[in-house]
Chain A
Amino acid sequence: MSKQVEALDMQEVLAKVNPVLEKHGYDDGMLVGILQDVQAQFNYLPREALIAVAQRLGIALSRVFSVATFFKAFSLTPRGRHQLQVCMGTACHVRGAARILEKFETQIGIKAGQTSEDMKYTLETVGCVGACALGPLVVLDNEFEGHLTVDKIEPILERLD
């Protein structure tokens, strides 16, 4: 859902971006790590932050942008209050993860990769999270909800505020 994103105040952006660049010694070889840390600050990668990173490192914005769009872990749009990551790893797949994802999608009314209009949920898919014994599963705000069946999904979503 591409919502209109308000422009951020450059001073505030720099206040968050500068320490990250500092930490990495303004080394453009660490670009991936820098963007990860910037994303951790904002919960996503705002346009202004990408511009700031490019300017401060003295590299082309296009290069920053190409890295930011190449890796799945980066998001260029704001994310919701609750992060739902449905595991689509092989083990979870053979145990019916597709059904689980489908149920989340219909229940919330968004597709994987999207954030709900009210900014409540961001629904994503991930590869194996290393808890195959619990599959199929969802990582909900960094906590695992395992052994999912289709009927457990509504109660999980209802529990969240």
Chain B
Amino acid sequence: MITRLNATQELEGLRQQILASRNQDTLRITVCCGTGCIAQGAKKVVEAFKRELSAQNVNAEVAELKETGCHGFCEQGPIVVIRPQDIFYKKVQVEDVPKIVARTIINGEVMERLLYSVPGNKKEKCTQESQIPFYAKQERVVFKNNAYIDPTSIEDYIAVGGYASLVKVLTTLQSQQVIDTIIDSGLRGRGGGGFPTGWKWQSSKDAAGDIKFVVCNCDEGDPGAFMDRSIMEGNPHLVLEGMLIAAYAVGNVSEAYIYIRNEYPYALKHAYKAIEDAKAYGLLGDNILSTGFNLDIKICRGGGAFVCGESTALMASIEGKVGEPRAKYVHTSEKGLWGRPTVLNNVETLANVPVIFEKGVEWYKSIGTEGSKGTKVFALVGKVNNTGLVEVPMGISLREVIMDIGGGVPNKKQFKAVQTGGPSGGCLPESKLDLAVDFDELTKNGSMMGSGAMVVMDERNCMVDTARYFIEFLEEESCGKCTPCREGLRAIRNILMDICSGKAELEDIDRLEKLCLAVTEGSLCQLGGTAANPVLSSLKYFRSEYEEHITNKYCRAGVCKDLIAFYIKDNCPGCVLCYKACPTWAIIYNGKGVPVTLIQDKCTKCGACLDVCNLDALEVRSVYDNR
């Protein structure tokens, strides 16, 4: 039964009570139930544990089962970690569960087979999470508790010190002091722009008005990012606590909103539950902890339009209107939701706030670079061995993230580029791998931090096609209100399609650059304002690939179908990998040691063969090259 807390001191009392009720010797079986692991069967593993624990008579004193949020290492899911020893089991299947219960839980043995080993070194097993290179170089601030707590249990959050920052703020700091602390911490918005959070709060505080709002942006429109969702799914109270502190600091805020996209069912579910529980404990609602401070948080479900992540469009959408942006002559921090001063912050930004008060500004400032403090969570995806969510200190090099944490490019392919910042970002080539990752360095080099997607590409990715992909996405997502964005993106896409199909001329590159400039300068909101980045950055670093498409009518990556044909080279040993992969039976097996034959008429140029061949026995040629 939940009893309401009626004074700020009672929180610590409750924490002690929760800790005392928990046996320190109880083993905790944490099963990652982030979306990535669920997709790989984590929920079935949870069910199997429930069955087995009761079948093998393991009672709750001995072992407790916990469904946690995302642990980050999606590549190895479903992940099970047994605490306090922190034994890390990867790719756990339902069939493994009876043995885990019998051997590890009951007998205390470690099961070698389920341990992670560094690729290429099967002998060396990592027993604990911290020994795994993927985790070793990370610095987990926002994600610290994700792998420990059950996101649907407010008691779990309180047990690890949750809401203590709120109490500290409410009892010891004036609202201005809170803002000063955030300004001093150097925290910058993680939603893309990198705007200093403290200053944003200050301008809403200074704006006239007796009704103000705080809004949390969990729209996550970038089609390649999932960290906001993982924070909201895995530790919703952390975000609520950040919102509470923001509301207190700005003042005159009694209503706040979380804008979550409807496609995120677990994030929604956990956020609703968190709000309900926080209210029951008196940590949210009227007269919070009897301090006279009120805040109600409501959830607004987004319909999944990229532009709705933009501040004015998001607010229009909360007001029940079509999510179209408006010109920002007046900032939303002064005139936002229903014309009132409104602070809009990203999920990750807000999740940093309680940590700053928990650990102190000095500690926080010690992480990161001069202009970018703290950590950043990246969705490290694409052609990389260790796909997952990684939280790293600002200033770490791209190389460390991709090669050390990410484990490099799989299947012996060659690294080509890394795309950061999503549709508003850009790609960086190998020569930029030693760049320190922070807001300013990325921007200076033609990319940006954006949402924090980090997409690795290899020799099999065509840079023109990638630019076309982003432009097509943005063209589709453009709300159509302003002409430069609506028409400009269409024109850019047409040129890119011409290049991909060999119909372009060299002058088109100049036209492309001019159009990019027009869209950047003329668009109403930052969707159009940044839309040209993927094109401009790939032109900057991979111009030769554009030119090659135009003059040689050749796509070296083997992607642009109108330009290419595949040929088997003489060194093909007939290993049958490509023969098995081909969906159209275009490859004929001629016996071992003999090259296979490719029938051009049947080939749809899907490239499945090129993906599997690891002997460099396939060649991509231009269709116009009739050797």
Interface residues of A (CB under 8 A from B): 27-33, 36, 63, 66-67, 70-74, 88-91, 93-96, 99, 102-103, 126-135, 137, 144, 146, 149-151
Contact = CB atoms under 8 A, between A and B. Distances in A.
Contact of B223 (A27, A63, A88, A151): A88
8 contacts: A67-B322, A73-B263, A90-B382, A90-B419, A130-B35, A134-B40, A146-B39, A150-B583
Contacts of B608: 99, 149-151
B303 A91 contact: no
Contacts of B381: 90-91, 132-133, 135
Contacts of B607: 96, 99
Contacts, number: 150
Interface of B: 34-36, 38-40, 74-75, 77, 221-226, 229-230, 262-264, 300-306, 317-323, 379, 381-383, 387-388, 419, 422, 453, 455-457, 461, 466, 469-470, 479, 581-583, 606-608, 611
B305 A71 contact: yes
A128 B323 CA distance: 20
B317 A128 contact: no
B230 A36 contact: no
A130 B229 contact: yes
Given A32-B317, A66-B322, A94-B466, A132 B387 contact: yes
Contacts of B422: 90
A28 B319 CA distance: 8
A149 B224 contact: no
The interface centre, meaning the residue of A36, A146, A150 with most chain B CB atoms within 10 A of its CB, is: A150
A127 B302 CA distance: 14
B455 A91 contact: yes
Contact of B36 (A63, A133, A149): A133
Contacts of B222: 90, 127-128
Contacts of B230: 130
A149 B611 CA distance: 10
Nearest to A103: B583
Contacts of B305: 70-72
A82 to B, nearest CB: 18
Given A71-B303, A91-B382, A130 B40 contact: no
A91 B224 contact: yes
Greatest chain B CB density within 10 A among A102, A103, A130 is at A130
A143 to B, nearest CB: 8
B320 A95 contact: no
A96 B607 CA distance: 9
A103 B581 CA distance: 14
Nearest to A34: B320
Contacts of A32: 300-303, 317, 320
A6 to B, nearest CB: 27
B606 A150 contact: yes
Contact of B322 (A29, A70, A126): A70
Nearest to B455: A90
Contacts of B581: 149-151
Interface centre among A31, A67, A103, A131 (most CB of B within 10 A): A131
Given A66-B322, A128-B379, 15 more contacts: A29-B320, A32-B320, A70-B303, A90-B222, A90-B381, A90-B469, A93-B469, A127-B221, A127-B222, A128-B226, A129-B226, A130-B229, A130-B264, A131-B35, A132-B387
B40 A94 contact: no
Nearest to B265: A142
Contacts of B35: 129-131
A130 B419 contact: no
A74 B382 contact: no
B379 A132 contact: yes
B387 A91 contact: yes
Contacts of A96: 607, 611
B388 A94 contact: no
A128 B223 contact: yes
B448 to A, nearest CB: 15
A84 to B, nearest CB: 15
B379 A36 contact: no
A72 B304 contact: yes
